[in-house]
Amino acid sequence: MKPLNNGPFGMYRLAVGVVNIIRRLSFRVEYIGRDNVPLDGSMIVCSNHQSNWDPVMLAGAMPKQRQLRFFAKKELFDVPVLKHILNRAGQIPVSRGEGDRQALRVVLQKLKEDEVISIFPEGTRSKDGTLGKAQAGVGFFALRSDASVLPVAIIGTYKFRSKLKVVIGQPIDMSGLKADKASAQIAADLIMTTIGDLYMQHSRNVR
């Protein structure tokens, strides 16, 4: 296992600690399947996306040694104080709506270094909570790396003191698609279908 880097991720751990306190005060969250999280090796964490709270829920689901890198809009890195925080927390700038080759290279390199990347396959938040179609990008990373692909379903609505479930599935076996040289979209669709299955299996009795 790669040793923790206390430099770049010091800000990350501080931020997670603060938002976890807010999360516990604001919502009643049940985490299911934490034992499915690989404790070493590169990993792509894939989840449905309905709120700006989703990264907080995903960070809370991970063991301390599995620190997430998220994509953040490139414009946010133009804000002086925020730029410092995002860089110190190890987040990745990306240009929305266009092919950002630099971001692609950064992600693939980080995966080679056994790091953990969090991706929302839908590419944007769902306005009504329904699951959308996955974009091909997540499939590209899954097929072009040796990373474990971890599906996560976030279930519930972000109302004060509401109950939410964060369901972590078993890593998706991508070996068959790699052997068949499947397209990135096919891989992305498999990932989103798996998230949808988790969502349906665990969506009862959530209010």
pLDDT score for 2: 44
Between CA 47 and CA 71 the distance in angstroms is 13
Tokens (6 digits) for 38: 């690989």
Between CA 50 and CA 54 the distance in angstroms is 7
| Residue % of the chain over a pLDDT of 70 | 80
pTM value is 0.85
Domains of the chain as residue ranges with CATH: 10-202 (3.40.1130.10)
Q: Report CA dihedral (152, 153, 157, 161) to the nearest 10 degrees.
A: -60
> What mean pLDDT value characterizes the chain?
85
**pLDDT tens digits for the chain (207 residues)?**
444 444 456 767 777 788 888 889 999 999 999 999 999 999 999 999 999 899 889 989 999 888 888 876 666 556 665 556 666 666 776 766 555 677 788 889 999 999 999 999 998 888 888 899 999 999 999 999 999 999 999 999 999 999 999 999 999 999 999 999 999 999 999 999 999 999 999 987 665
pLDDT score for 13: 76
Instruction: Give the number of other Cβ atoms within 10 Å of residue 75's Cβ.
Output: 11
pLDDT score for 81: 59
CA angle 29, 193, 58 (to 5 degrees): 30
pLDDT score for 98: 54
